[in-house]
């Protein structure tokens, strides 16, 4: 279907004795919003730096739009980066920062000016050209960094946890703006984050990193609904793992299973399963966490093991849910939501 | 409050005093600064004022006694006497040359110590740069005298190329002063380069800049204030020096030498000469202030 923007083959990189990237194969499509998700130290940022050319791999191959770039310097790659702490040049004005890439390419001054103004308008910072980075807020600096990386219209834009330093409200706003800008300019975005919610809401596809390797690649729905490993299940969303004897009893077959908390309904112990397709298990509520919009119940199953269930607070309030603690309940879920994980 | 204080009388006395001081910020400030301010105003600025005032006196040409009659003859002589003009221009030239040489040598050294050398070895290198400052000034200058003397190390090293050392004179003075003040230039540049975020260099390369371009557009503008800060040291130290030039300068005369030789015979003239470096350095500082270097001192 589409072209391939980035192809990584058996990419490896060690720092001293630690293998930061331990064999990564990956294809990122043209025009895709692609996220690399993982905890810190999982190798996602190192892969980004390898693609940008700041580090050179010990082994493996990096292709950009079909061309091998493995040994090329950063300035020879048609890739621009938005850095975690923005890395704006403090001695230049906002406009000089944005126009930097164009100046290096010897774009004539008038065009340079027009294009950097346009880029600043794209990130809703028109009129801020004469300020210094120090005079801007965190969110504004973030936009300048974005404009600076976008103005040269690179083949691929790399974003290294660009929203990490922003507060929650601003982050949510920037998430939707980033997504909108990406749709508008049509450039391939490779977005590194440790925030699973951010990855789920913004991405076309996600690669989940675990200890220098990719644990799973897929759409947000695939990653969330069908996690490939226990690690993916626990890192993306809240996991509810059942295995060994408990799995045999509750699910009816051996193996490791994951059930998302919101798929579980909490019923009275005496209740019957609604449909034959539903599985149930009884247990005691061990703990109740009031979340405002929802309540999280930790239930110790009679057969052993513990499941977390999330209930919307449609009718209930904080006082009601506090009374749940210690009560007997029956948990019910659709059988297809008990997802078997390859062990 | 008193009931909570420790039972000992001394303890409560100290506490009460501390409390009293806490409520009188002006008194605290006065106690802190009176001594140092007296020192600064009376001894430091006072002697500068006396120096400046005595430059307007004259001497009896027979007895060399100072005659306290006001006149601007000395300053007039400074401007009109060719020897004085020549020496002033030479002194400023030496200070500028030493500063330029220091900057040229210090930059690559600082770049190595701050960014290229393995991080664990960097503190050691800084110590190595500082060690010459622990040695006596005179020992170092006499070492240079030996190096530059006829048949000395410089001659011996240059002989295979059919050259000889600079001998004693103006070049030797500049060379020795450069050696003496180099650490004062390396240190600020080292600090600035060390604090330069690596991400800025990455970002520059990422946006298409080669090493040379990154150096000109990012590194140099960000480190320039520290070069200026270092130059304040090298410039003022060079301008005030009169010993090095006596030891390795041959017959070269700088402002300091004239002051030194006039101080017995014509104190007011020496004072007038002495104000020249002060004025030059004030002008230099004003020029440097425009670069923003003094903000980072």
Question: For position B1, what pLDDT does the model report?
Answer: 44
Chain B residues touching A88 at Cβ < 8 A = 203
Disruptive mutation site among B208, B212, B214, B295 for chain A (greatest number of A CBs within 10 Å): B208
CB contact under 8 A, B205 and A80: no
Of B197, B199, B207, the CB nearest to A104: B207
CB contact under 8 A, A89 and B205: no
Q: What is the C-alpha separation between B166 and A195, in angstroms, rounded?
A: 67
- Which residues partner with A22 through β-bridges? A12
Can you count the helices (H) and strands (E) in chain A? 10, 18
pLDDT single digits (tens) B264-279: 778 888 889 888 999 9
Q: What sign has the CA pseudo-torsion B17, B23, B25, B27?
A: negative
Question: For position A13, what pLDDT does the model report?
Answer: 93
Q: What sign has the CA pseudo-torsion B82, B85, B88, B91?
A: negative
Q: Where in chain A is the domain with CATH 2.40.50.100?
A: 240-341
Q: Are strands A241-242 and A213-218 parallel, antiparallel or unpaired?
A: unpaired
B6 pLDDT more than 60: no
pLDDT, average across residues B170-187:
94
pLDDT single digits (tens) A229-282: 889 988 988 878 888 778 887 777 888 888 999 899 988 888 877 778 888 889
For A240-341, the fitting CATH number among 2.60.40.420, 3.10.129.10, 2.40.50.100, 2.170.190.11 is 2.40.50.100
Q: What is the C-alpha separation between A208 and A39, in angstroms, rounded?
A: 9
Q: Where in chain A is the domain with CATH 3.40.50.300?
A: 4-235
pLDDT, average across residues B198-206:
92
**Global model pTM greater than 0.90:** no
The answer to whether the CB of A329 falls within 8 A of the CB of A284 is: yes
- Reported confidence tier of residue B294, pLDDT bands at 50, 70, 90: low
B153 pLDDT more than 90: no
- Reported confidence tier of residue A109, pLDDT bands at 50, 70, 90: very high
Q: What is the C-alpha separation between A337 and A279, in angstroms, rounded?
A: 10
Q: What sign has the CA pseudo-torsion B223, B224, B229, B234?
A: positive
Residues 6+ apart with CB under 8 A from B203: A81, A83, A87, A88, A89
Residues of A with CB under 8 A from a CB of B: 52-54, 73-75, 79-81, 83-85, 87-91, 100-101, 104-105, 148-149, 152
Count CB-CB contacts under 10 A for residue A317.
Answer: 10
Question: For position A136, what pLDDT does the model report?
Answer: 92
- Reported confidence tier of residue B2, pLDDT bands at 50, 70, 90: very low
Count CB-CB contacts under 10 A for residue B8.
Answer: 9
Question: For position A250, what pLDDT does the model report?
Answer: 79
Secondary-structure class of domain A4-235 per CATH:
alpha beta
The answer to whether the CB of A330 falls within 8 A of the CB of A218 is: no
Mean pLDDT of chain A: 89
The answer to whether the CB of A89 falls within 8 A of the CB of B200 is: yes
Q: Does the interface predicted TM-score (ipTM) exceed 0.95?
A: no
Question: For position A116, what pLDDT does the model report?
Answer: 92
CB contact under 8 A, A87 and B213: no
Q: Are strands A33-37 and A205-210 parallel, antiparallel or unpaired?
A: parallel
For residue B197, give both structure tokens.
């975020």
At residue B74, φ and ψ (nearest 5 deg) are -60, -45
Question: For position A343, what pLDDT does the model report?
Answer: 67
Interface membership of B195 toward A (CB under 8 Å): no
pLDDT single digits (tens) A170-184: 888 889 888 998 998
* Three-class secondary structure of residue B254 per DSSP: coil
Chain B residues touching A104 at Cβ < 8 A = 207-209, 213
Question: For position B141, what pLDDT does the model report?
Answer: 93
pLDDT single digits (tens) B59-113: 777 777 777 878 888 888 888 888 888 999 999 999 999 999 999 999 999 999 9
A228 pLDDT more than 50: yes
Q: What is the C-alpha separation between B214 and B212, in angstroms, rounded?
A: 5
Terminal Cα distance for chain B, rounded: 44
pLDDT, average across residues A192-210:
93
Q: What is the C-alpha separation between A261 and A240, in angstroms, rounded?
A: 7
Question: For position A242, what pLDDT does the model report?
Answer: 84
Q: What is the C-alpha separation between A116 and A98, in angstroms, rounded?
A: 6
Cα A48–Cα A205–Cα A241 angle in degrees, nearest 5: 100
Chain B residues touching A72 at Cβ < 8 A = none
CB contact under 8 A, B205 and A104: no
Q: What is the C-alpha separation between B176 and A217, in angstroms, rounded?
A: 66
* pLDDT above 90: percentage of residues in chain B: 40
């Amino acid at each position: 279907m589409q072209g391939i923007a980035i192809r990584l083959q058996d990419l490896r990189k060690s720092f001293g004795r630690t293998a930061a990237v331990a064999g990564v194969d990956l294809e990122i499509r043209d025009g895709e919003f692609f996220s690399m998700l993982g905890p810190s130290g999982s190798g996602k940022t190192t892969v980004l730096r390898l693609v940008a050319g700041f580090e050179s791999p010990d082994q493996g191959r990096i292709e950009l739009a079909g061309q091998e770039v493995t040994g090329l310097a950063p300035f020879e790659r048609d890739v621009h980066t938005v850095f975690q702490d923005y890395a704006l040049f403090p001695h230049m004005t906002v406009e000089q920062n944005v126009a930097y890439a164009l100046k290096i390419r010897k774009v004539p001054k008038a065009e340079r000016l027009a294009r950097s103004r346009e880029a600043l308008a794209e990130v809703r910072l028109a009129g801020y050209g004469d300020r210094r980075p120090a005079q801007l807020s965190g969110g504004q600096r973030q936009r300048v960094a974005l404009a600076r990386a976008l103005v040269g219209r690179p083949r691929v834009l790399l974003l290294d946890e660009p929203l990490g330093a922003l507060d929650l409200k601003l982050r949510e706003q920037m998430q939707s703006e980033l997504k909108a800008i990406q749709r508008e300019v049509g450039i391939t975005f490779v977005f590194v984050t440790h925030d699973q919610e951010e990855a789920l809401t913004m991405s076309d596809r996600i690669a989940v990193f675990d200890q220098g390797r990719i644990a799973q690649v897929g759409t947000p729905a695939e990653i969330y609904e069908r996690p490939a490993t226990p690690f993916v299940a626990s890192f993306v969303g809240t996991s509810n793992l059942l295995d060994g004897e408990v799995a045999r009893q509750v699910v009816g077959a051996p193996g490791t299973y994951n059930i998302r908390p919101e798929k579980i309904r909490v019923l009275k112990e005496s209740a019957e399963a609604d449909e034959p397709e539903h599985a149930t298990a009884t247990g005691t509520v061990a703990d109740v966490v009031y979340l405002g919009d929802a309540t999280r119940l930790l239930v110790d199953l009679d057969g052993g093991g513990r499941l977390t269930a999330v209930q919307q607070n449609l009718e209930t309030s904080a006082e009601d849910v506090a009374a749940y603690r210690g009560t007997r309940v029956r948990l019910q879920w659709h059988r297809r939501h008990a997802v078997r994980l390859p062990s | 409050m008193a009931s909570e204080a420790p039972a000992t009388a001394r303890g409560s006395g100290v506490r009460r005093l501390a409390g009293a001081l806490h409520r009188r910020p002006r008194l605290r400030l006065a106690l802190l600064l009176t001594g140092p301010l007296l020192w600064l105003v009376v001894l430091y600025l006072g002697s500068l004022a006396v120096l400046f005032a005595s430059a307007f006196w004259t001497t009896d040409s027979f007895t060399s006694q100072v005659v306290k009659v006001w006149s601007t003859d000395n300053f007039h002589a400074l401007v009109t006497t060719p020897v004085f003009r020549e020496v002033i221009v030479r002194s400023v030239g030496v200070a500028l040359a030493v500063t330029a040489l220091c900057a040229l040598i210090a930059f690559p050294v600082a770049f190595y110590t701050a960014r290229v050398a393995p991080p664990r070895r960097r503190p050691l290198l800084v110590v190595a740069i500082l060690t010459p400052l622990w040695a006596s000034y005179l020992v170092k200058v006499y070492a240079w005298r030996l190096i530059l003397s006829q048949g000395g190390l410089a001659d011996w090293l240059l002989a295979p190329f059919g050259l000889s050392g600079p001998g004693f004179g103006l070049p030797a003075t500049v060379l020795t002063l450069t050696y003496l003040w180099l650490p004062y230039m390396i240190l600020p540049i080292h600090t600035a380069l060390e604090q330069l975020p690596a991400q800025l260099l990455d970002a520059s390369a990422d946006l298409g800049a080669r090493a040379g371009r990154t150096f000109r557009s990012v590194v140099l503008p960000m480190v320039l204030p520290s070069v200026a800060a270092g130059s304040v040291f090298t410039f003022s130290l060079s301008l005030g020096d009169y010993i090095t030039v006596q030891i390795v300068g041959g017959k070269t005369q700088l402002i300091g030498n004239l002051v030194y030789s006039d101080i017995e015979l014509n104190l007011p003239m020496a004072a007038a000469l002495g104000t020249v470096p002060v004025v030059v350095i004030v002008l230099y500082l004003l020029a440097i202030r425009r670069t923003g270097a003094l903000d980072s001192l």
